[in-house]
Structure 1
Amino acid sequence: MSTILVLTDFTIKDNHAAYYALNLASIAKANILLCNVYPQNQSRVHQSEFVDQIYDSLEKQSKSDLSELAGRLQQSLYTVNDGSFKPTIQQCSIGGNLMVAVNELIAEQGILMAVIAAHSKDDFFAWVNTDHASQIIDSINCPVLVLPYQAPFGGFRKIVFASDLERYNPEIFDRLFNIGNLFDSEITITHIGEAVLGEPTEKYILKRHVEGGSAQIKSVKVRYLGIQNKSVTAGLEWLVEQANIDLMVLIHRKRNVFQKLFQKSVTKRLAEQLKTPMLVFPANLKGTTVKVA
């Protein structure tokens, strides 16, 4: 059975993301793994007893907060007696490097996706949270669902996939259309550029993305929409406002040092001002496709 990994630092936004993930897991028939990664003393030099006590306290607090959150999520399952699937809720408290810990979990378990909360750049703790979100988006080897605070869960009936049309990774589309099939979604493949593509090119794009996939892909409603705009970010923002979509999907590619110095990626700029849930696939996603119910 697949698992949804929920990364949390126990903020109110992270707690909302955990409840959202629980609703998603109930429909996807997936289990929940709550994970908190806390700082750990990495120095080989002997530290004072006071420093050791600080790290011990962080570990105890992490485990305590995880148990409390898991208990509240479990209680919410008991209040609904509609015969729906009840996810198993597990906990994982890890000391050390965030990305090392997360990618080890992904390698060991059948992770459908990781779920994190979006944190506004105006947040008091934005310097911490934005950095963590950037690390996750850049380095994780599974899809990442980024959630705006207070976004209600109502399924993903309208999904927009923003494509640069450069490279094609069939596993990404297997996973995306698998989710679309689960929610009976309408998936719109869109490309934003200075020129609108002609009809023959649009038909080729749909053929490339759909006909090369599995039967699961072919059962999902798919269409193409070209958007003329010099700014990819502005084009996507316009689409979100006009189309009333439930999920924005992007593929994130790592950038070189020069690009990192002078501009943020489209994915990260959108995450800072997110109003709609955003599912981010790593461009080099590898491994066996994780199936949902």
Structure 2
Amino acid sequence: MKKILVPVDFSPTAENAANYATDLAYNIGARLELFHVFQLPVVSPVAASLVWPSEEYKQMEDDAKKALEKLLHEVEKKYEATDHDYSLKPELYVKFVRGEVDDEVYKYFTECKMNLVIMGLNSASKFSKILVGSNARKMIERSIPLLLIPEGYPFKKPKKIAFATDFSHTDIPVLCALAEFAKPFNADILIMHTSHPASIGYKQKAEEFLNRVSDRVNYKNIYHRHVNSEQVKDGLDWIVENGQIDMLVMVHRKQGFFYRLFNGSYTLTMSDHIQIPLLVLPPEHRIPM
């Protein structure tokens, strides 16, 4: 059985991500774990001599454990209130640990052989800022399958999934894994590349890549679309706004397409545009999601 991990901090955004994950788990037959990392309070160096009261610390920890159990019950209650066949309800569990969020999530993900991490994105902050300085950004750097859910976005079965590519050969196994994710929904996978059509070698690269896809990816609902744009960010904005897609998929490759997008000369702020889930995958990802 596939296993989905959902880090939660008890915010409305995290609760929404948990509800989304529950519906997704139902559709793909997965086990779901709500995961809370209890972090030690940050003490300013100026106040380094101060000691955090052990009683207050213990109370905070107990409150967090209770909040985790409460969230589990709320997710289950919302699930029961839907039209789902409750006999097919996904397995739901909770896990409480101490430490740093990205460290503990990565450790648990790898040790327990999870398939996917689902986290919420808070639209109160700019998307670029979220990625640069938050747990989401840290998790992307961990190079594990990560599905980011915008605040308030309800689950709906994806009908069209856009896969942004630079025609790298390492994207082929990623597409194979993505095809397995898309099959339960019979969703279309739209392979999109954005560049100026007069780019040197574009036609040959596209043909070679699509031929490899045809040979190696066992899925019939795959299409290709070129987006005419000299700037990657403009091409992505266009496909999100006009492509009628339900999910955007990108490969996080350091010094590659995704890395340049968020760390290089591009200053893309997606929060005003991307109101759909963003699935970030590591290069050559082969694990079914």
Q: For the superposition of Structure 1 and Structure 2, which TM-score range results when normalised by the shorter chain?
A: 0.7 to 0.9
Q: CA deviation at 1:6?
A: 0.8
Indicate whether 1:59 and 2:53 are aligned: no
1:199-242 CA deviation, whole Å, 9 max, x = no partner?
A: 665333222123123xxxx2331111111212211111111111
Indicate whether 1:88 and 2:91 are aligned: yes
Classify 1:267/1:152 alpha carbon distance in 2 versus 1 (closer, same or farther; 3 Å). farther
TM-score normalized by the length of structure 2: 0.83
Report the RMSD for the aligned CA atoms in angstroms: 3.2
Structure 1: which 5+ runs fail to align? Answer: none
TM-score normalized by the length of structure 1: 0.82
1:107-126 correspondence to structure 2 within 5 Å: 107-120=110-123, 122=125
Asked if 2 retains the 8 angstrom alpha-carbon contact of 1:157 and 1:186, the reply is yes
Aligned to 2:222, the other structure's residue is in SS state strand
Q: Return the match for 2:137 from 134, 138, 141.
A: 134
Identity of aligned residues (%): 24
Structure 2: which 5+ runs fail to align? Answer: 44-48
Asked if 2 retains the 8 angstrom alpha-carbon contact of 1:134 and 1:268, the reply is no
Q: d(CA) in 1 for partners of 2:234 and 2:198?
A: 16
Q: Return the match for 2:76 from 68, 74, 77.
A: 74
1:80-99 CA deviation, whole Å, 9 max, x = no partner?
A: 45366211111111111222
Aligned to 1:111, the other structure's residue is in SS state coil
Aligned to 1:240, the other structure's residue is in SS state helix
Q: CA deviation at 1:38?
A: 1.8
Q: CA deviation at 1:196?
A: 5.4
1:178-193 correspondence to structure 2 within 5 Å: 178-193=180-195
Asked if 2 retains the 8 angstrom alpha-carbon contact of 1:39 and 1:58, the reply is no
Aligned to 2:216, the other structure's residue is in SS state coil
Aligned to 2:135, the other structure's residue is in SS state helix
Q: CA deviation at 1:128?
A: 10
Aligned residues: 277
Classify 1:74/1:242 alpha carbon distance in 2 versus 1 (closer, same or farther; 3 Å). same
Classify 1:274/1:38 alpha carbon distance in 2 versus 1 (closer, same or farther; 3 Å). farther
Q: CA deviation at 1:64?
A: 1.0
Q: d(CA) in 1 for partners of 2:265 and 2:186?
A: 31
Q: CA deviation at 1:77?
A: 3.1
In structure 2, the residue matched to 1:105 is 108
Q: CA deviation at 1:119?
A: 1.9
1:162-177 correspondence to structure 2 within 5 Å: 162-177=164-179
Q: Return the match for 1:210 from 187, 210, 214.
A: 214
Asked if 2 retains the 8 angstrom alpha-carbon contact of 1:121 and 1:130, the reply is no
1:1-293 correspondence to structure 2 within 5 Å: 1-40=1-40, 50-79=52-81, 80=83, 82=85, 85-120=88-123, 122=125, 130-139=133-142, 141-195=143-197, 201-213=205-217, 218-255=218-255, 263=263, 269-270=269-270, 274-283=274-283, 285=285, 289-290=287-288
